[in-house]
Amino acid sequence: MPDTVTIERRGGVATITIDRPDSLNALNTNTLHALEHVLDETDDARAIVLTGAGDDAFVAGADIGYMKELSTDEALEYADLGHRICDRLETHDAPVIAAINGYAFGGGCELALAADLRIASENAVIGQTEIDLGIVPGWGGTQRLPRLIGDQAARRMIFLGERLDAEVAAEVGLVGEVVPQDDLDSVVEEMATELAGKPRFALAAAKEALNQVHEGPQAAGLAYERRLWSGLFGTHDQREGMEAFVEKRDPEFE
Ligand code: COA
């Protein structure tokens, strides 16, 4: 099986690349397991960069072809896996930079939300697009997005499935910086290298303290979201939304 997640180390910087460009780096279970495995190898990293292979996508979301037939129990397992990875990114001692090099939809947006810093290229488009598949964000989006960009902007994104261009994403505070596509790698590398040179325990403490802002109620919210998300599997609109995508036609919702 080809590696769908690669890791490259330079000094203290570990760069993790989701590598399924033919599917716009959509995350199936193999890729998620590979990502989880790769994260296990990053304990000594001083800074982590997460990005997608190719010029078009960071991660175009969870794999819709895989998800479309999931039962509620299977969806819950899939949600758990996605949540474990996002939690791992959020609680990793090292700062994580999401280098958003193109589409970041659904689970791709949620991976980026779990990072500490988000830098987007000008061609990036970001959205929690699950509504048009008959489901809701299931890897933390309903909890992390409003905390980051505020209630109204998050409701618009999640209810309407809005797809924000990079500049708009920066205006609402979803990404911290937008750079020309050709400059993304160098800008991210420069920041990651600088972070890797900072005192690691102080950086880890700063991250832990900043994360406390979201502690407490978020854990309950995340657990609630997992149950709600998986409960939508098996509904007409979930099947129809995902089948329509795979069959390249417009969905007919109930
Ligand atoms: N899951 C599975 N496959 C996906 C995917 C996903 N989330 N996103 C894209 N792909 C696949 C397409 O099926 C297509 O495969 P094919 O070449 O075998 O037909 C390939 O990636 C390229 O996508 P395509 O739609 O042809 O490219 P595009 O440039 O016309 O559109 C997007 C790109 C990202 C706008 C479009 O693919 C899209 O809307 N994807 C779904 C995004 C989404 O809703 N994600 C949330 C999932 S929870």
- Rounded to an integer, the average pLDDT of 208-230 is 79
Q: Is the CB of 110 under 6 A from ligand 1?
A: no
- Rounded to an integer, the average pLDDT of 168-172 is 98
Q: What is the whole-number distance in angstroms between the Cα of residue 125 and the centre of ligand 1?
A: 13
**198-202 long-range CB contacts below 8 Å, 24 or more apart?**
198/46, 200/46, 200/93, 200/94
CATH topology of domain 5-182: 2-enoyl-CoA Hydratase; Chain A, domain 1 (3.90.226)
Q: Are 139 and 231 in contact (CB under 8 A)?
A: no
Q: Is 90 a catalytic residue?
A: no
pTM: 0.91
Backbone angles phi, psi at 216, to 5 degrees: 85, -105
Give residue 222's pLDDT. 80
Segment 147-166, tens digit of pLDDT:
999 999 999 999 999 999 99
Mapped onto helix, strand or coil, the DSSP state of residue 161 is coil
Confidence bin at 217 (pLDDT 50/70/90):
confident
Segment 65-120, tens digit of pLDDT:
999 999 999 999 999 999 999 999 999 999 999 999 999 999 999 999 999 999 99
Q: Is the CB of 130 under 6 A from ligand 1?
A: yes
Q: What is the whole-number distance in angstroms between the Cα of residue 105 and the centre of ligand 1?
A: 10
Q: Is 110 a catalytic residue?
A: yes
Helix axes 72-91, 29-40, angle to 10 degrees: 30
Give the domain ranges of the chain.
5-182
Give residue 1's pLDDT. 53
Residue where the block lists tokens 């969905």: 251
The amino acid that residue 84 corresponds to is R
